[in-house]
Amino acid sequence: MSEKVKEKIEFLYKGQDTEKIFSEIMSIIKNFKNQRKRKEFFDQEDVILITYGDQFKGNDKNPLFYLKQFCDEYIKDIINTIHILPFFPYSSDDGFSVIDYKKVDPDLGDWEDIKELSKEYRLMFDFVCNHISSKSDWFLGYLNGKEEYKDYFIEADPNEDLSKVVRPRALPLLTAFDTKNGKKYVWTTFSEDQIDLNYKNPKVLIEMIKILLYYIEQGADIIRLDAIGFLWKEIGTSCIHLEQTHKVVQLFRDIIQLTAKEVKIITETNVPHKDNISYFGDGYNEAHMVYQFPLPPLVLYTFMCGDSRVFTNWAKNIKPISEETAFFNFLASHDGVGLNPLRGIVSEDEINKLVELTIKRGGLVSYKYNPDGSKSPYELNISYFNALSDEDEREEIKIRKFLNAYSIALAMQGVPGIYIHSILGSQNYHEGVKITGQNRTINREKFEYSKIKEELDIKNNLRYRVYNGIKELLKIRKQYSAFHPNSKQDILEISRDVIATLRSSDKGKILALNNITNKKLVLKIDKEKIKCTKGEIISLIDKKIIITNDDSIEISLDPYEFLWLHYA
């Protein structure tokens, strides 16, 4: 494995003192102390909660204390992993402009609070490795002309042709700063406060490796590589998904293999499917998980159309790369619903229909610049609950559609992720957008812990019904090996009104049926098609036994109803 590390160093830093760089990295690895036992791979019991560290506040304790209290009280039996979004001191972008990688934001708590959470839950940490805050010591050192930070950042000439560079946001690529050495134009992919790091400088890579291993020492079980696709820059290229970027991810994987091999890497690359899955590498040498980015917009699109054919055709082609990889299936997150992964699956006209529907349902839309200067919608900013339903629909139907959508994600091959606002049944937070001026705030409301607890405990309250609906699905899911991330999956063509997902293991099969229309359906299904050869069929959600004929079964589905059917 150390030879693999050496090969990558020689590839990345050809012409430099690669022996010295390699020696420094191996010394860091040698001094690493792994004190945490972790399980080998994911299984059907693994579910990841996505949340901010300050999601809940109270009068007498810090937010991380209340986060643990919420988890212990409401999710301990159904969710075993928590993705705490960046919990470090930061200057903007709700945590993704990190001032100090090794500190916990004192407004949230401290490392002891993280340690307490790690005793009961697996943890996912964000490794914001593409950029750092303009308020960080590193960048302030650069501005002040300190020699050690001289090449930590990327300077470029504003007159240079940078038109090929892929931009995630409609903001300038270069930002001017007055430094001790005069005015400099510095590379800022995401914002003027988020300064891109220069990985062509091996000192930067070495510092980031130290931080990666520090996170693992502090209890990280999964490392999320934020915005990783933009890591390596070469002027004259798109500066996204470059071979050097993949080599750095592979290097991180090698280092984890040498230090804490049960730790998993997930890459965050909100891009078309082919580029996204490229971060699996050969299935054994890069990321263990990638986000299933087409899933959130595709589920919305499917409910909008009331037609499952596009979804079915897409899902049929989704295959695990190896037994060591898995997709991260989510519908909502702290960001909006990305549209780029939908491109190539549906037409631009269909994407525009989804944009119009989002606006109609109280949402907002974010745009990006294209190389030709035009703008395209790249993200829908809306609560996923609101995105699925019209305002005038009955609450019962809204909840049913929402749980239906989540049951699709929970039935698919991969590891499910559930955003805190999904399990809480949150709706559009327009007041927050007015305060911050940021579209993404619409889905980032924070709560007084006592208030949210009160709402969750009122029977028939919307939050109560959504929480208990998701809880019931997760309780069922963890009991069946057919829902293992890599158990066999068949996407069946039963009706354009239905998504049909068949999962199989040596202990039985589960057929998930989702009515994605507002019509009552009666389905006659060939038993051979669903590989049902013997025994009874049990509906896991309502515990009913399904009556079967010799060669078929007949299923009734109410509007937006969904079933999980279990049989041998």
Which residue among the candidates 46, 54, 126, 226 is catalytic per the annotation?
Answer: 226
193 annotated among ligand-binding-site residues:
no
Give me the sheet containing 488-492, strands edge to edge: 488-492, 498-505, 508-515, 562-567, 537-539, 545-546
Burial class of 442 by CB neighbour count within 10 A (0 to 12, 13 to 18, 19+): buried
36 annotated among ligand-binding-site residues:
no
DSSP H or E run through 439: none
**Residues across the chain:** 568
Helix/strand/coil for 330: coil
Closest CA relative to residue 228, chosen from 284, 176, 289: 289
Q: What is the DSSP letter of 147?
A: G
Which tokens hold the place of 451?
């208030």
503 annotated among ligand-binding-site residues:
no
542 annotated among ligand-binding-site residues:
no
What CA–CA distance (Å, rounded) separates 470 from 526? 30
What CA–CA distance (Å, rounded) separates 89 from 107? 9
131 annotated among ligand-binding-site residues:
yes
Taking a C-beta distance cutoff of 8 angstroms, is the pair 91, 133 a contact? yes
226 a catalytic residue:
yes
Sequence-ordered list of residues with C-beta below 8 angstroms from that of 299, at least 6 positions apart, any chain: 311, 331, 405, 408, 409
What CA–CA distance (Å, rounded) separates 145 from 181? 7
292 φ/ψ angles, rounded to the nearest 5 degrees: -85, 75
334 annotated among ligand-binding-site residues:
yes
CA distances from 240 to 189, 404, 479 (A): 11, 35, 41
What CA–CA distance (Å, rounded) separates 93 from 71? 25
Taking a C-beta distance cutoff of 8 angstroms, is the pair 361, 399 a contact? no
Which residues sit in the known binding site for substrate? 93, 131, 224-226, 334-335, 440
List the catalytic residues: 226
Which residues sit in the known binding site? 93, 131, 224-226, 334-335, 440
